[in-house]
């Protein structure tokens, strides 16, 4: 049994439910049998991947879903061997070069050139479109965390081998993509689904799974569903996962607002408590306690940037004075930069906490 | 595979070529073949043409913003000099997609530079100047490490009798001084509108695109002097507008030139380019002016959920505020400072949400 996220993932363009204009554009591209390099961006859980796969499905047929994982080895210039996972079907490859950290350039150079310099031969004449697919598609995940070097390496490759490969870059924000890449790709923005969009999806699923709610009043159910939508802040994947969690916990889903509290993740609750501590006890002793909590969070692999962001938003909610809020936001922005430049994240997180305490103290 | 095809049927090969051409992006398809075709870089082109006549080429350093024709110029120059056959042995093209560490400079570049020039056939000699040196093109030279650049210094001088170097970069400041001083520099300026417009019109005619009024102008405005961007936008827009029905009537016999009935509009271009519509920018500016942190924070959240690029927001807010006459110079100064700061932070790979929030709050404080 698969998760709802996978079970109800649209497989073809026709099943896609929201953002009709994007779907229309993608269909036009797919029909012509050819497309330029794409740069798909949008917040997480908005359905970027789903749309890409649906498009590929439309172009190449069901074979795209026959995925296998290969392990490729690369040799860096310093003769170190690297192992790298490549997800591939007969028509496309999917890679996450940022797994490799600083060595992503080698992957881009070697792998793409290898793919690009061999031409795709299309023997399947049964495909409905008359155009033959002389190209292979390479999907690059998390393109925004590619290093500058790797992105520079992409530039000429994209032009030179463009008759044999099509790239699809997937990322959350295009701020980190260098302009030469942007000027070589077709940008596709995928916004997060609206609350009503998500509501529709939740309703269809609850009908299909024939879920029972504690009350049959459709308005109440609707309200409950949109609460789920609100709590996941536009992230449909998160929304579906939490919805499934709720449905598994009990036979009938109780519609009381309390049941939603289960959805709060542990670390979110911890950070919320942290923000309250920071607000109430502003002294060195509590700073030491905060350090313990922060270390705990970091050791559970919560990314420092997420900690900072969540902490900031929790703090903003607890503080009333507008002046302090603007101070806090500025502090967060400074420490956010330091986090991404520095190595040891605990310093910067603690620095933020200390500065925040001082800022609130001055209120 | 190609050779087998060639023996069996040349007709197949033609069809194959045609299909391949159909898959090639326009940027490649319409890359200028001759020096004269390079749009709106009159200065560089005249100088280069004169050097062709005298068959004496200096080492060259091309610099300028993306999409102004640097790579196109040198490729066109090399083709005019050598012709297609000799081109393969006389030109070495290295770019950032190739390994270009110090070891490559020491081995590959040096070895190629050292080679004596091959003799051109008489046929080539008749048609092309075929000067007695090779050309090494180092594209995107600003992504070479300083060490690698330093290693080039002596190489350039040592083999100057048989090899000319052409460095291409966006930022001349990233090229170390000793290298820059060995080359004659050509600055490629952003294309002016007339020439770029002519080029776009030419492409539009060749591809039989159905355009509505003012689209080409809008494309130019958005692409901001970057011709490659403009052409890519145009192609993407055409692909998108080739909507469902006319694909079916096209290509029964490999004929890809579908008669497009649907038109490309200004809105469509904006959508493709990722430009934020004016009314949303105005709305953002108004929220900032309202100085209400609650509404600012919800507005920022909305922007992030819409998946807009923070960089684009900054760009357009910049235009908005700096051109706003109701704000006095001192405030504008402050705003520019804030925009600069946030832009820098975003470039350092920070979180868009936090930074945008900060940007909005800061500007609203400054106002």
The residue-averaged pLDDT of B264-283 equals 78
C-beta atoms of B350 and A339 within 8 A: yes
Report yes or no: B274 at the A interface, CB cutoff 8 Å. yes
Optimal mutation site among A36, A112, A177, A195, interface B, most CBs of chain B within 10 A: A36
Is the Cβ of B19 closer than 8 Å to some Cβ of chain A?
yes
In angstroms, the CA A86 to CA A38 distance is: 20
Q: Would you say residue A123 has pLDDT above 70?
A: no
Q: Return the pLDDT at B10.
A: 59
Nearest by CB to residue B244, choosing from A31, A187, A190, is A31
Complex ipTM, two decimals?
0.79
Q: For B328-332, what is the mean pLDDT?
A: 86
Residue in chain B closest to A308 (alpha carbons) equals: B354
Residue B288 confidence (pLDDT) above 80: yes
Give bridge partners of residue B168 from the DSSP assignment.
Answer: B62
Q: What is the DSSP letter of A296?
A: H
Whether the CB-CB separation of B169 and B175 falls below 8 Å is answered with yes
Give the full edge-to-edge strand order of the sheet including B91-94. Answer: B91-94, B134-138, B163-169, B60-63, B184-187
Name which of B64, B307, B313, B342 to mutate to probe chain A: the one with the most chain A Cβ atoms within 10 A of its Cβ: B307
Residue A360 has pLDDT above 80, yes or no: yes
pLDDT in tens, B81-140: 888 788 888 888 887 666 666 777 778 888 888 887 777 777 777 777 778 888 888 888
Q: Please give the Cα distance from B226 to B238 (Å, whole number).
A: 19
Task: Name the phi and psi angles at B275, rounded to 5.
Answer: -80, 140
Average pLDDT, integer, range B57-68 = 86
Q: What is the pLDDT of residue B253?
A: 38
The alpha-helical segments, DSSP class H, found in A233-303 are 236-249, 266-280, 284-299
> What confidence tier does B244 reach under pLDDT thresholds 50, 70, 90?
very low
A285: how many CB neighbours lie within 10 A of its CB? 8
pLDDT digits (tens, 9 = 90+) for B168-207: 988 888 888 888 888 888 888 887 777 788 888 888 888 7
Report d(CA A143, CA B277) in Å as an integer: 25
Residue A45 contacts B where some CB pair is shorter than 8 Å: no
Dihedral sign, CA of B18, B19, B20, B22?
positive
Count CB atoms within 10 A of the CB of residue A156: 20
Q: Is B351 on the interface with A (CB under 8 A)?
A: yes
CATH number 3.20.20.70 given to B31-187: no
Return the SS3 of A187. Answer: strand
- Domain residues of chain B, as ranges? 31-187, 193-273, 278-366
Q: Residue B259: its pLDDT value, please?
A: 40
**pLDDT for the residue A129:** 47
Q: Which of A173, A190, A236 to mutate to test the interface with B (most CBs of B within 10 A)?
A: A173
Q: What are phi and psi of B94, to 5 degrees?
A: -120, 135
B366 at interface of A, judged by CB pairs closer than 8 A:
no
A197 phi and psi, to 5 degrees? -55, -45
When pLDDT is cut at 50, 70 and 90, the band that residue B258 belongs to is: very low
d(C-alpha B15, C-alpha B254), whole Å: 7
Q: Return the top range by mean pLDDT from A120-124, A173-177, A342-346, B10-14.
A: A342-346
- Subunit contact B345:A163, Cβ cutoff 8 A: no
Integer Cα distance of A277 and A102 in angstroms = 38
- The token pair at A65 is 């879903």
Count CA atoms within 13 Å of residue A344 on its CB side.
5
Q: Where are the beta strands (DSSP E) in chain B?
A: 60-63, 91-94, 134-138, 163-169, 184-187
Q: Do A134 and B20 touch (CB under 8 A)?
A: yes
Q: Name which of B23, B66, B103 is nearest A134 (Cβ-Cβ).
A: B23
What value does the mean pLDDT of chain B take?
78
Structure tokens at A12: 């073809």
Q: From 3.40.47.40, 1.10.8.60, 3.40.50.720, 1.10.10.10, which CATH number describes the B193-273 domain?
A: 1.10.8.60
Tokens coding A104: 């992503």
pLDDT at B367: 79
Interface probe for B, chosen from A193, A329, A332 (most Cβ of B below 10 Å), is A329
Shortest CA distance to A326 belongs to which of A301, A360, A297, A349? Answer: A360
Count of H-run helices and E-run strands, chain B: 20, 5
- pLDDT tens readout for residues B127-162: 777 788 888 888 888 878 888 888 888 888 888 888
- Whether residue B357 contacts residue B296, with contact meaning beta carbons closer than 8 Å, is answered with yes
Residue where the block lists tokens 């910049």: B318
Q: Is A178 on the interface with B (CB under 8 A)?
A: no
Inter-chain residue contact B309 with A160, CB threshold 8 Å = no
Inform me whether the pLDDT recorded for A85 exceeds 50.
yes
Q: Is B249 exposed, middle or buried (0-12, 13-18, 19+ CB in 10 A)?
A: exposed
Residue of A175, A180, A191 lying closest to B309 (CB–CB):
A175
Q: Does A156 sit within 8 Å of B140, measured CB to CB? A: yes
CA distance A259 to A295: 30
User: What's the angle, vertex CA A62, arms to CA A57 and CA A66, rounded to 5?
Assistant: 105
pLDDT at A158 over 50: yes
How many angstroms away from the CA of A212 is the closest CA of chain B? 31
Q: What is the rounded CA–CA span in Å between residue B133 and residue B55? A: 10
Residue A230 in contact with partner chain B when CB distance is under 8 A? no
How crowded is residue B29: how many other Cβ atoms within 10 Å of its Cβ? 15
* Mean pLDDT over each residue of chain A, to the nearest integer: 80
Contact (CB<8Å) A154/B97: yes
Query: Which residues in A lie closer than 8 A to residue B226 (C-beta atoms)?
Result: 183
pLDDT digits (tens, 9 = 90+) for A165-195: 888 899 887 777 887 788 778 888 888 888 8
Architecture field, domain B278-366: Up-down Bundle (1.20)
Minimal CA separation from B143 to chain A, in Å: 7
Contact yes or no for A139/A93 (Cβ under 8 A): yes
| Per-residue pLDDT at B138 | 86
pLDDT value of residue B257: 39
Write out the H or E segment, with its range, that includes residue A136.
Answer: strand A136-140
Nearest to B240 among A25, A149, A234 (CB): A25
Test A186 with B272 for CB contact under 8 angstroms: yes
Contacts with A157 from chain B: Cβ below 8 Å: 97
State how far the Cα of B356 lies from the Cα of B349, in Å rounded to an integer. 13
Task: Calculate how close chain A gets to B122, using CA atoms only, in Å.
Answer: 31
Comparison of pLDDT for B129 and A306, the residue scoring more: A306
Question: What is the biggest distance separating any 2 CA atoms in chain A, rounded to whole angstroms?
Answer: 74
Residue B11's pLDDT is what? 61
Question: Within a 10 A sphere around the Cβ of A185, how many other Cβ atoms?
Answer: 23
Return the pLDDT at B248.
42
Span B256-275, mean pLDDT?
Answer: 62
Residues of B with CB below 8 A from A339's CB?
350
Do the Cβ atoms of B237 and B269 come closer than 8 Å? yes
Kindly determine whether residue B98 and residue A109, on different chains, have CB atoms separated by under 8 Å.
yes
Whole-number pLDDT of residue B13: 62
Name the token pair of A243: 């919805």
Whether B195 contacts B40, CB under 8 Å: yes
Residue linked to tokens 């690059």: A140
Which has the minimum average pLDDT: A104-113, A343-352, B13-22, B328-337? B13-22
Percentage of chain A beyond pLDDT 70 is 90
Residue A108: band (very low, low, confident or very high) from pLDDT cuts 50, 70, 90:
confident
User: Which of these ranges, A67-71, A331-335, B58-62, has the smallest mean pLDDT?
Assistant: A67-71
**Stretch 77-116 of chain B: residues touching chain A, C-beta under 8 Å:** 95-99, 101, 103
Residue B77 and residue B161: Cα distance in Å, rounded? 19
């Amino acid at each position: 049994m698969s998760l709802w996220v996978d079970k109800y993932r649209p497989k073809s363009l026709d099943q896609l439910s929201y953002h009709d204009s994007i779907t229309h554009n993608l269909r036009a591209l797919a029909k012509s049998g050819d497309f330029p390099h794409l740069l798909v961006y949008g917040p997480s859980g908005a359905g970027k991947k789903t749309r890409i796969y649906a498009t590929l499905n439309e172009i190449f047929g069901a074979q795209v879903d026959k995925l296998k994982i290969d392990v490729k080895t690369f040799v860096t210039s310093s003769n170190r061997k690297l192992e790298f996972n490549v997800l591939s079907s007969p028509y496309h490859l999917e890679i996450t070069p940022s797994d490799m950290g600083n060595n992503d350039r080698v992957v881009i150079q070697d792998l793409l050139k290898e793919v690009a310099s061999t031409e795709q031969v299309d023997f399947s004449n049964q495909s409905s479109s008359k155009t033959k697919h002389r190209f292979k598609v390479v999907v690059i995940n998390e393109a925004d965390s590619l290093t500058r070097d790797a992105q520079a390496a992409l530039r000429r490759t994209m032009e030179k081998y463009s008759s044999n490969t099509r790239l699809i870059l997937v990322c959350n924000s295009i701020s980190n993509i260098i302009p030469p890449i942007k000027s070589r790709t077709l940008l596709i923005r995928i916004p997060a689904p609206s609350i009503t969009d998500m509501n529709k999806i939740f309703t269809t699923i609850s009908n299909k799974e024939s879920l029972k709610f504690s009350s049959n009043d459709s308005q109440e159910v609707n309200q409950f569903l949109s609460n789920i939508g609100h709590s996941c802040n536009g992230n449909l994947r998160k929304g579906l996962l939490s919805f499934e969690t709720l449905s598994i916990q009990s036979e009938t889903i109780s519609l009381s607002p309390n049941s939603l509290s289960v959805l709060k993740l542990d670390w979110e609750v911890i950070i919320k408590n942290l923000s309250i501590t920071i607000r109430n006890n502003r002294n060195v002793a509590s700073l030491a306690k905060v350090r313990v909590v922060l270390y705990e969070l970091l050791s559970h692999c919560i990314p420092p940037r997420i900690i900072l962001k969540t902490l900031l938003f929790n703090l903003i909610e607890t503080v009333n004075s507008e002046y302090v809020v603007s101070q806090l936001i500025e502090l967060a922005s400074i420490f956010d930069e330091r986090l991404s430049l520095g190595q040891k994240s605990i310093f910067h997180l603690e620095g933020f906490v200390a500065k925040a305490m001082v800022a609130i103290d001055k209120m | 595979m190609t050779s087998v095809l060639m023996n069996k049927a040349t007709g197949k090969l033609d069809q194959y070529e045609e299909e391949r051409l159909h898959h090639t992006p326009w940027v490649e398809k319409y890359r200028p073949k001759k020096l004269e075709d390079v749009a709106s870089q009159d200065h560089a082109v005249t100088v280069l043409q004169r050097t062709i006549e005298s068959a004496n080429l200096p080492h060259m350093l091309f610099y300028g913003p993306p999409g102004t024709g640097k790579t196109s110029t040198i490729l066109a120059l090399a083709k005019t000099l050598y012709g297609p056959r000799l081109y393969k042995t006389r030109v070495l093209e290295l770019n950032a997609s190739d390994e270009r560490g110090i070891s490559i400079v020491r081995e590959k570049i040096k070895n190629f530079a050292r080679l004596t020039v091959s003799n051109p056939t008489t046929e080539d000699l008749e048609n092309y100047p075929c000067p007695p040196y090779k050309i090494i093109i180092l594209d995107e030279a600003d992504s070479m490490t300083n060490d690698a650049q330093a290693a080039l210094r002596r190489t350039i001088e040592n083999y100057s009798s048989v090899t000319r170097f052409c460095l291409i970069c966006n930022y001349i400041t990233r090229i170390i001084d000793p290298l820059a001083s060995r080359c004659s520099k050509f600055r490629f300026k952003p294309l002016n509108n007339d020439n770029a417009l002519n080029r776009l019109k030419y492409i539009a005619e060749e591809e039989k695109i159905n355009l509505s009024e003012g689209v080409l102008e809008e494309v130019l405005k958005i692409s901001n002097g970057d011709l490659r961007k403009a052409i890519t936008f145009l192609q993407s827009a055409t692909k998108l507008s080739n909507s469902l029905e006319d694909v079916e009537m096209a290509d029964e016999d490999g004929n890809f030139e579908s008669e497009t009935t649907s038109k490309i509009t200004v809105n469509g271009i904006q959508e493709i380019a990722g430009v934020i519509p004016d009314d949303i920018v105005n709305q953002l500016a108004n929220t900032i002016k309202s100085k209400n942190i609650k509404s600012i924070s919800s507005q920022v959240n909305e922007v992030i959920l819409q998946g807009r690029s923070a960089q684009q927001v900054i760009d357009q807010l910049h235009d908005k505020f700096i051109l706003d006459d109701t704000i006095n110079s001192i405030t504008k100064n402050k705003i520019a400072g804030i925009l600069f700061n946030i832009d820098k932070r975003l470039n350092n790979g920070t979180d868009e949400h936090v930074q945008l929030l900060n940007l909005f709050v800061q500007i609203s404080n400054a106002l």
